[in-house]
Amino acid sequence: MSLREEYASQESELDELYRDIILDHYRNPRHRGSLASPTTTHEGLNPLCGDEVTVELLVDGDRIADVAYKGSGCSISQSSASMMTEAIDGKPLEEVKRLSADFTAMMRGEETIDPESLGDLEALSGVRKFPVRVKCATLAWHTLEEALEEAGL
């Protein structure tokens, strides 16, 4: 590979990491804030870099009736949280759990998962080329899983 091609490939990997949809969620977060009376609230922390995400869920029977998040951190951690809230809002718990398992499997690079099946969340697959940033993308989902576990759901 020529040096020029190599530079271009670096740029495209950065473009892959910071896809437009990710930056859009970072700048225009969805479901950011708090719920009036959440069923469960859980705080996730990435001690290595200090990223914080708090997930609030309102569970109605076997579905997520409402969801909110707040936190601070890099664009990947915060946009991933925003994208997650959109993906799970109104969804049955079973589907949410499957989605969470599929998403973390995708981020681990497991080939059994077709990223395209995850809709917008596929945009985060570019993070896999930046191993130290993968934990940023999975923070919100791990927090969600812990929230469900804590609520016995």
Partner 1 sequence: MTLDVARIRKDFPILERKVYGKPLVYLDNAATSQKPRQVIDELVRYYENYNANIHRAVHCLGEEATAAYEEARAKVAAFINAPSPECVIFTRNTTEAINLVAYTWGRANVREGDEILLTQMEHHSNLIPWQRLAAEKGATVRYIELTDTQTLALDGLENLFEARTRIMAMPHVSNSMGTINPVGKIAPEARRNGTAFLVDGAQGAPHLPVDVQAIGCDFYAFSSHKMLGPTGIGVLYARKELLEEMEPFLGGGEMIRRVDFEGATWNDLPWKFEAGTPNIADAIGFGAAIDYLNDLGMENVRQHEIEITEYVLNRLGEFDDITLYGPPDPRDRGGVVSFNLGDLHPHDIGTVLDRHGVAIRAGHHCTQPLMRTLGVSGTARASFYVYNTLEEVDVLVEALEAAREFFKR
Residues that bind partner 1 (CB under 8 A): 3, 6-7, 10-11, 13-14, 17-18, 20, 23, 48-52, 72-76, 130, 133, 136
| Full strand arrangement of the beta sheet holding 51-60 | 40-46, 51-60, 63-72
CB 113 → partner 1: shortest distance, Å? Answer: 24
DSSP state of 65: E
Our CB check for partner 1 shows the closer of 2 and 112 to be 2
Q: Which residues pair with 46 in a beta bridge?
A: 51
CB 7 → partner 1: shortest distance, Å? Answer: 7
> Strands, DSSP E only, in 1-153?
40-46, 51-60, 63-72
Our CB check for partner 1 shows the closer of 40 and 75 to be 75
DSSP state of 133: G
Our CB check for partner 1 shows the closer of 11 and 150 to be 11
CB 83 → partner 1: shortest distance, Å? Answer: 16
Our CB check for partner 1 shows the closer of 14 and 101 to be 14
Q: Residues 123, 97, 114, CA angle at the centre, nearest 5°?
A: 40
CB 72 → partner 1: shortest distance, Å? Answer: 5
- Joined together, the tokens standing for residue 48 give 């290595």
